[in-house]
Amino acid sequence: MPTVLFVCTANVCRSPVAEALFADWVKRAAPEGEWQIGSAGTWADTGLLASTYSREVLAEQGLDLGAHRARRLDAEMVAAADVIVCLARAHAEAIKAEFPEHAGRVVLLSALSGKGYDVPDPYGGPRQGYEAMARELRQLVEQGGARIAGLARRAEQDKQAG
């Protein structure tokens, strides 16, 4: 099954929201087959809930982050992922530096729609920042979902072939 991993810093705001939005996109746009979709943080404090505002904003869209628990990115997650979708350039650069053998599977979400920028981290800010982050991530997932899915399927096939 194709495996997609979204990565941000703490795994309590951006990456769990992107994970939920992509899972929703898959249900609507690529329902064939099973997918493994997850998220992690480069500096996550393992076990933390998604931020309150992230949970609230997604609940208003019919998506539930209640079961989410933060995970710190590790070598096993990186090796298992067919595509590692980063929310900021620093995340992508750090993963490529620490795991150069998997660098070809690391992508920046915003770059998939041609822009190549860091999705702002709303952590600690007002609810409006979380609303803006969720809107932006939804737009990026809608624009880049097919590319993420295609990359994941190709990488999964490559792993199986050799």
Catalytic residue among 13, 14, 24, 71: 14
Mean pLDDT confidence for 45-53: 98
Tokens linked to 75: 């070598």
Q: What pLDDT, in 10s, does the model give residues 58-69?
A: 999 999 999 999
- Extract the runs of DSSP E, i.e. beta strands, from the chain: 3-8, 36-41, 83-86, 106-108
Task: Please confirm, yes or no, whether 69 is among the known catalytic residues.
Answer: no
Mean pLDDT confidence for 78-93: 98
**For the chain, how far is it from start to end, CA to CA, in angstroms?**
16
- pTM greater than 0.95: yes
CA angle 136, 141, 142 (to 5 degrees): 100
Task: Please confirm, yes or no, whether 118 is among the known catalytic residues.
Answer: no
Catalytic residue among 89, 118, 121, 147: 121
Q: What pLDDT, in 10s, does the model give residues 108-159?
A: 999 998 889 999 999 999 999 999 999 999 999 999 999 999 999 999 888 8
CATH number at residue 156: 3.40.50.2300
- List residues bridging with 49 in a β-sheet: 69
Q: What range defines the domain where residue 49 resides?
A: 3-161
The number of distinct structural domains making up the chain is 1
Task: Please confirm, yes or no, whether 14 is among the known catalytic residues.
Answer: yes
- Whether residue 31 is predicted with pLDDT greater than 80 in this model: the reply is no
